[in-house]
Amino acid sequence: MMELSPKQQVVDILKNRQNILILTHKNPDGDALGGILGLYLTLRKMGKNVTAVCNDAAPAAYSFLPSVKEVSQNFGGSRDFVISLDISKVKADKVMYKVNGNHLDIIVTPLGGQFKHSDLISCEGCFNFDAIVVLDSPDLERIGSPYEKNPEIFYDIPLVNIDHHPGNDFFGKINLVDMTATSTSEILVSVIEALTGDPKFIDEEIATALLTGIITDTNSFQNTNTTPKSLTVAAQLVALGARQQDIIKNIYKTKTLSTLRLWGKALSNLVDESEHKFVWTSLSLADFTAVNALETESAGVIDELLKTAAGVDFALLLSEKNGDLHGSLRSTNKSKDVSAIANLFGGGGHAMAAAFQIPATSLELSGAEVIKKIKEFQSK
């Protein structure tokens, strides 16, 4: 018998499991949110019990997405609560329960003797998931606190890894990693078609979520990673009702005043390292505070401002977020692989777009060292 392909294995496990947890990486972008919502809405429509979780809330620009508020920041509510009774000294004869107003009374009849309060303990039990799907994340650490606080469940429960990043660790029991895809959302379109057996199962809401992922990861089909397949899949989603103009309006044509002021800060902090063929800028916590901007509002700086710089190999944005130093890189030269630069700092990504994160530090403490290492890399 022929071995099933990764996609067939994904379809098989999603068909045969009822309680499914879907996760994506922290600081979610459009592909992370589009993918998690597209799969969440699909599985829920199929009658599954689905929980969608992301370490961080969606940026305000994505508030138009269907059911985005149903993506929570934890999954503690899906855990059993266990009441344990020590029966080593006194055996139990019968157990029953009844609802008494707002209380659940559990009645245990002893088989001779008497139970005491000291015989009783309560604790958290197992999570009620029989499959976990991780989307758009090259490794488990990128998920953030859902993994850090509950690492055991990622080894106890069948784990599906769906991604398009070349640096993926293949951490799942099943790994559907397609590096030729522009986005994880693009991969999910064919998964959903195979899962449901109905090309028209994808409705307007699912199509809008998935198209958001494709549009944002191709920068509205402007990036060099855009392929004929991504354009074909996008056209298919529009035909199924995806609200393409809503996506463009909310992601590219609507900016708050605080976002515009933050971008002004980024431009005023711009440094031209012409000798080393890159430009970079920085946003400190003080910059965010000065314009009353959220940390998520820096998202468009690198793509919509810095990436247009002429005569350089790449652009870099350094920003302080959640006590860490984040770096975002965009190549402006097809022959320049910025993922190699992100790797210097433990990050990764694609040749044209990559990122890294240095924990528990700041621009003041680490910014100069980051720029020094990049200059040395460029000099080689």
Question: Within the chain, what is the greatest distance between any pair of CA atoms?
Answer: 87
Predicted local distance difference test score (pLDDT) of residue 224? 84
Q: What is the pLDDT of residues 37-57, one digit of tens each?
A: 999 999 999 999 999 999 999
pLDDT exceeds cutoff 70 at 23: yes
Nearest to 38 by CA among 169, 215, 269: 215
Position 151: which residue type?
P
Q: In sequence order, what DSSP letters do the residues of 220-259 get, joined into one string?
A: TTTSTT--HHHHHHHHHHHHTT--HHHHHHHHHS---HHH
pLDDT exceeds cutoff 90 at 81: no
Average pLDDT over residues 192-213: 96
- Could you tell me the pLDDT band of residue 1, with boundaries at 50, 70 and 90? low
Quote the pTM value: 0.84
Report the chain's terminal Cα–Cα distance, integer Å. 52
Q: H/E element holding 76?
A: none
pLDDT exceeds cutoff 70 at 352: yes
pLDDT exceeds cutoff 60 at 339: yes
pLDDT averaged over every residue in the chain: 93
Predicted local distance difference test score (pLDDT) of residue 265? 97
Predicted local distance difference test score (pLDDT) of residue 261? 97
* The dihedral sign for the CA sequence 254, 355, 276, 364: positive
Average pLDDT over residues 137-148: 95
Average pLDDT over residues 168-174: 97
243 C-beta neighbours (distance < 10 Å), count: 20
Position 64: which residue type?
F
pLDDT exceeds cutoff 80 at 78: no
User: Taking a C-beta distance cutoff of 8 angstroms, is the pair 127, 75 a contact?
Assistant: yes
Average pLDDT over residues 331-341: 91
Average pLDDT over residues 304-310: 85
Nearest to 329 by CA among 267, 290, 284, 371: 371
Q: What is the pLDDT of residues 236-291, one digit of tens each?
A: 999 999 999 999 999 999 999 999 999 999 999 999 999 999 999 999 999 999 99
pLDDT exceeds cutoff 70 at 77: no
Residue ranges of domains in the chain, CATH in brackets:
6-75+129-250 (3.90.1640.10), 78-125 (no CATH), 257-379 (3.10.310.30)
Predicted local distance difference test score (pLDDT) of residue 123? 72
